[in-house]
Structure 1
């Protein structure tokens, strides 16, 4: 393996391999089919990049994530290694040139999505390339029980007959035992060598806290741990709100979400990477290729969709091996909100069929026609026309995209962006002088609190609904504000391009894929149930719960998670503290922080006794999060 270490040193500037990398590379070089389960941060890419560099020919990398492909190609090119990615939006003529380069230009890596393999002419060209290794990244997508199943992955096994002597390497960061078995079977791996790195992260303390005031607890955590931190939130609006709140508390903070331009993403990322700010507030768009070793704390303030995503995001903490914290803050309403966010917007077969038929009607596609027809498409306009809920429709369209029925050429994005150029007090003065514009401006300010600080994506239909004004009226107000230099305002046509990949057959089209939809919906429900179980389980070590989910058995408690810490702590004198709390509540209703201040007990002790009183129906919680004596 001296040659492998020499390549690692030359191109990656490291002197030795991490755990399992050496063994996986050796397996691939010996021509064996290989399965590797390596959690986030384990260095999966080196496992195929090094052996590909050591052999003549080109490595074919199949990946579902355009952002990850682009990131890896850019990193290889920085090291003067020739790599190409066939991503969406590339014209056929350009693709022919790129494939010519692969054949005659001494390229070492060709990245493409599994859907590309469904084009016969692309497959024919690939069959003629000197492929030395076929790598399947994010291999859990091959399994119907994986968290992002894509049927196009099922066709990868057909490459076996064209490249019978070329080893397959399947890589994934998150796979349960059922998913692992599926991957090996569906890819047709022949007597594969299997490498599994433990999911245990001994240096990460997994913490779950039920709190009333999440911002107050975040403030405590960040003050106690002033090192680099990530706060994960569910949407773009929360990014701006939490960032603004933390800045007002004196923290240096920035944010990251999918709606930012590449320039803004890079700028905000570098602020955090260079530690000019302590904390970055982000949606799950943040994380691809992020490898900052000294992240001390990762905080989630809403429940994640599944434990696979949670483990990956939490795992960005403590990569330097020092003690770090993965904190999940919850409140009683979180479970209901998460069900509304992830479960109630899942399309069923009936809705999927409705959406598809209306979509065909929308573009006037006749039954038996439509294959390869291309249209510009505005999701908001389509949903308003047919009275469809936007998120449910978007999920249905994503599903048909993954099934290959349709192709959406780009992410949906807002058509309008704007920013206020004058201070808030001047805006208030303008509203007092122009009362007819007040409702619209107030709706904008309440919906987008960060609109004074940055160019903000703007949903016209949402503001129309909130302000009870027509879209034309809102356009008129925006135009007037722009003319008066009160706002900077950009209107762009960012409609998606929609391609129909099959002829229209209505229910026959949908029936063919509905079993996948049912499986995916069932999987999402089970995954959320596992998240709720992780949060609600008060009598098991949190690290053990995570390991058990991924099929590992832990014999001992971790000793540092929220359960283990509570077990070690002195239990409060329940009787005397209960009496003290009841006496306080007989006078007035109080929240837990007020009770904590009055009794001079720790937050955990107060929460423990309050839970005891709630369980015994002595007290109840009012909608304003204050406790009161049960009458």
Structure 2
């Protein structure tokens, strides 16, 4: 609405690209300076901003640390500076990035320009930090309540989680999301659900863009009921009629849980955020979690091995970019994958490296015959002419050396499909006209600093200790959320975000349990004992025999175990205590 450019500072490359694409689709001129763009290209893009009537310029906070970029930005007609994911400025935020601390320096150069800081999940402590660290003076604070009155937060104890999921999905056949921890569980659970008659697909960071789009479309268009996903699924998801969001493992923190469960019920209809837990979950989460927190020694070792892996000499490496496969790296050096991934995430947030998890197929290509011969080939094969001439125009150095090749770009420029371009490449390779290598990788890695080994790591080690401490506290909050049996779940979440309320929500698992008439547990206990006189049964078999809900059955079984009237055997079956 106003003249000039809005400068948006955002930490996520994928999010920036997504937003720029959305703006361009609405004919609004937007540009993003992401990692991996060479300096000369950057100069052109900034020229475009200055003279091309652009409305949005997206930048990572790390980019602001380059003096020449700052100098160029100072001369742009900026009318608003928007800081996205502003919790990254706080050391108490769940995604702290030191580069965010430099944002306040923009204040010196843009004294008259309003600053806007945005976040979806800030605790009171984080909110104070955002105001202080971005140097906002007397800011207006716009804060919506964290209460989502139509979401029923349910914590359900279930020994057999698949059986519980089956019950929930049958009862609520509308669109559902199930969040899991890792890529493997994604595919496994999706396959299990399909096998028992539900339509399901999956989504994780290692899928190619085509697969992501295809699986997402199946779910968005409701050709499948369920999408099983890791937390890579979420950006730009805006499906109003999601009925259930189920977590089958403990989330790392309440912030993530609130955001992920909040994808349910955006149409205002009643929806369910269900967290399935079993007695061993807490112990497992703590053990797994603590063993996967990288310490300083581990970080040092990872960083040095990473530099060696890409043959980067001491004092070199800045702005070098590589295709990267995490599993291959971990196998080579015998590192545990999750702990290594956490270490890389930390190095990424500190701005030492940029790790973008965009799946890509890297193609390198070189002509093996002289240009004269290539032109002769083209004249004899007119069907391949358009594709080959486009290649030669786009990559003039392709005769001298192996050149990185963008398949989709050539397809678009030559008005052909990617498959047609691939077919031509394959044919040229078979005829020994080109040398052609394609390799898949699930990330690209950019070094933002020169290699200085311990000095690099020592500089950020103090942040590592504080982040590890914060993560432990956050996990404890999640454990408190599931174990607290005497307080409304909605109130627990609001309390975490510093919002006080005296009223219970009436629809969460605690409120429903409290409102259920206290069953005659004595008569049910007697029924269970008489059933177990004749045979050993597991909890689900008992539940089916006496036709009551899981929670009640588990409660009575626990009482009977404590009273030593029954015992549980190694095969998870209960029997009478003799």
Aligned to 1:240: 187
Q: Per the alignment, do residues 386 and 123 of structure 1 end up closer, same or farther by CA in structure 2, a change over 3 Å counting? A: same
Aligned to 1:201: 148
Provide the C-alpha distance between the structure 2 equivalents of 1:79 and 1:363, rounded to a whole number of angstroms. Answer: 41
* 2:80 is the counterpart of 1:129: no
**Larger deviation, residues 156-165 vs 236-245:** 236-245
Query: Contact 2:154–2:272 at 8 Å: present in 1 too?
Result: yes
Name stretches of at least 5 consecutive residues in structure 1 with no aligned partner.
Answer: 1-53, 416-489
Q: Per the alignment, do residues 110 and 218 of structure 1 end up closer, same or farther by CA in structure 2, a change over 3 Å counting? A: same
Shift of 1:259: 1.9
Q: Per the alignment, do residues 529 and 414 of structure 1 end up closer, same or farther by CA in structure 2, a change over 3 Å counting? A: farther
Query: Contact 2:36–2:321 at 8 Å: present in 1 too?
Result: no
Structure 1 residue aligned with 2:6, among 59, 62, 76?
A: 59
Aligned to 2:98: 151
Query: Contact 2:83–2:117 at 8 Å: present in 1 too?
Result: yes
Provide the C-alpha distance between the structure 2 equivalents of 1:376 and 1:245, rounded to a whole number of angstroms. Answer: 33
Provide the C-alpha distance between the structure 2 equivalents of 1:620 and 1:511, rounded to a whole number of angstroms. Answer: 54
* 2:169 is the counterpart of 1:222: yes
Shift of 1:586: 4.2
* 2:483 is the counterpart of 1:540: no
Structure 1 residue aligned with 2:464, among 502, 517, 521?
A: 517
Structure 2 residue aligned with 1:590, among 537, 549, 552?
A: 537
Shift of 1:371: 4.7
Provide the C-alpha distance between the structure 1 equivalents of 2:314 and 2:35, rounded to a whole number of angstroms. Answer: 28
Provide the C-alpha distance between the structure 2 equivalents of 1:506 and 1:102, rounded to a whole number of angstroms. Answer: 37
Provide the C-alpha distance between the structure 2 equivalents of 1:132 and 1:169, rounded to a whole number of angstroms. Answer: 11
**Aligned alpha-carbon RMSD (Å):** 2.4
**Larger deviation, residues 286-295 vs 161-170:** 286-295
Aligned to 1:604: 551
Provide the C-alpha distance between the structure 1 equivalents of 2:123 and 2:64, rounded to a whole number of angstroms. Answer: 27
Shift of 1:261: 1.8
Provide the C-alpha distance between the structure 2 equivalents of 1:372 and 1:272, rounded to a whole number of angstroms. Answer: 39
> How does the TM-score come out when normalised to structure 1?
0.75
Query: Contact 2:48–2:54 at 8 Å: present in 1 too?
Result: yes
Shift of 1:154: 0.6
Query: Contact 1:379–1:412 at 8 Å: present in 2 too?
Result: no
Q: Per the alignment, do residues 314 and 370 of structure 1 end up closer, same or farther by CA in structure 2, a change over 3 Å counting? A: closer
Aligned to 1:161: 108
Instruction: Give the secondary structure class of the aligned counterpart of 1:193.
Output: coil
Aligned to 2:207: 260
Q: Per the alignment, do residues 242 and 514 of structure 1 end up closer, same or farther by CA in structure 2, a change over 3 Å counting? A: same
Shift of 1:136: 0.4
Instruction: Give the secondary structure class of the aligned counterpart of 1:172.
Output: coil
Shift of 1:349: 1.2
Shift of 1:316: 0.9
Provide the C-alpha distance between the structure 1 equivalents of 2:315 and 2:548, rounded to a whole number of angstroms. Answer: 72
Aligned to 2:55: 108
**Larger deviation, residues 237-246 vs 359-368:** 359-368
Instruction: Give the secondary structure class of the aligned counterpart of 1:196.
Output: coil
Instruction: Give the secondary structure class of the aligned counterpart of 2:79.
Output: strand
Structure 1 residue aligned with 2:121, among 170, 174, 179?
A: 174
Instruction: Give the secondary structure class of the aligned counterpart of 1:205.
Output: strand
Aligned to 1:187: 134
Deviations 1:23-55 (A, max 9, x none): xxxxxxxxxxxxxxxxxxxxxxxxxxxxxxx21
Query: Contact 1:255–1:280 at 8 Å: present in 2 too?
Result: yes
Provide the C-alpha distance between the structure 1 equivalents of 2:361 and 2:529, rounded to a whole number of angstroms. Answer: 52
Query: Contact 1:212–1:625 at 8 Å: present in 2 too?
Result: no
Q: Per the alignment, do residues 117 and 236 of structure 1 end up closer, same or farther by CA in structure 2, a change over 3 Å counting? A: same
Shift of 1:613: 2.6
* 2:39 is the counterpart of 1:92: yes
**Larger deviation, residues 617-626 vs 129-138:** 617-626
Deviations 1:346-388 (A, max 9, x none): 1011211222334445556555555555566554454344432
Instruction: Give the secondary structure class of the aligned counterpart of 1:135.
Output: strand
Shift of 1:125: 1.2
Instruction: Give the secondary structure class of the aligned counterpart of 1:194.
Output: coil
Q: Per the alignment, do residues 582 and 495 of structure 1 end up closer, same or farther by CA in structure 2, a change over 3 Å counting? A: closer
Q: Per the alignment, do residues 71 and 495 of structure 1 end up closer, same or farther by CA in structure 2, a change over 3 Å counting? A: closer
Q: Per the alignment, do residues 104 and 368 of structure 1 end up closer, same or farther by CA in structure 2, a change over 3 Å counting? A: closer
Deviations 1:42-75 (A, max 9, x none): xxxxxxxxxxxx2110000011112221222122
Shift of 1:406: 3.0
Provide the C-alpha distance between the structure 1 equivalents of 2:325 and 2:549, rounded to a whole number of angstroms. Answer: 53
Deviations 1:300-339 (A, max 9, x none): 1111111111111111111111111111111122223323
Query: Contact 1:259–1:413 at 8 Å: present in 2 too?
Result: no
Provide the C-alpha distance between the structure 1 equivalents of 2:319 and 2:167, rounded to a whole number of angstroms. Answer: 56
Aligned to 1:79: 26
Provide the C-alpha distance between the structure 2 equivalents of 1:201 and 1:262, rounded to a whole number of angstroms. Answer: 32
1:11-30 equivalences under 5 Å are none
Shift of 1:225: 1.2
**Larger deviation, residues 510-519 vs 392-401:** 392-401
Aligned to 2:430: none
Provide the C-alpha distance between the structure 2 equivalents of 1:414 and 1:329, rounded to a whole number of angstroms. Answer: 37
Deviations 1:250-278 (A, max 9, x none): 22222222222222222222222222222
**Larger deviation, residues 148-157 vs 224-233:** 224-233
Q: Per the alignment, do residues 61 and 585 of structure 1 end up closer, same or farther by CA in structure 2, a change over 3 Å counting? A: same
Instruction: Give the secondary structure class of the aligned counterpart of 2:441.
Output: coil
Query: Contact 2:208–2:360 at 8 Å: present in 1 too?
Result: no
Query: Contact 1:343–1:524 at 8 Å: present in 2 too?
Result: no
Shift of 1:213: 1.5
Q: Per the alignment, do residues 250 and 515 of structure 1 end up closer, same or farther by CA in structure 2, a change over 3 Å counting? A: same
* 2:503 is the counterpart of 1:556: yes
Q: Per the alignment, do residues 329 and 107 of structure 1 end up closer, same or farther by CA in structure 2, a change over 3 Å counting? A: same
Q: Per the alignment, do residues 352 and 98 of structure 1 end up closer, same or farther by CA in structure 2, a change over 3 Å counting? A: same
Aligned to 1:326: 273
* 2:234 is the counterpart of 1:287: yes
Shift of 1:616: 4.2
Query: Contact 1:89–1:409 at 8 Å: present in 2 too?
Result: no
Shift of 1:604: 3.1
Aligned to 1:494: 441
1:383-422 equivalences under 5 Å are 383-408=330-355, 410=357
Q: Per the alignment, do residues 532 and 628 of structure 1 end up closer, same or farther by CA in structure 2, a change over 3 Å counting? A: farther
Deviations 1:171-201 (A, max 9, x none): 0000101111111111011111111110001
Q: Per the alignment, do residues 412 and 344 of structure 1 end up closer, same or farther by CA in structure 2, a change over 3 Å counting? A: farther
Instruction: Give the secondary structure class of the aligned counterpart of 2:101.
Output: helix
Provide the C-alpha distance between the structure 2 equivalents of 1:85 and 1:374, rounded to a whole number of angstroms. Answer: 18
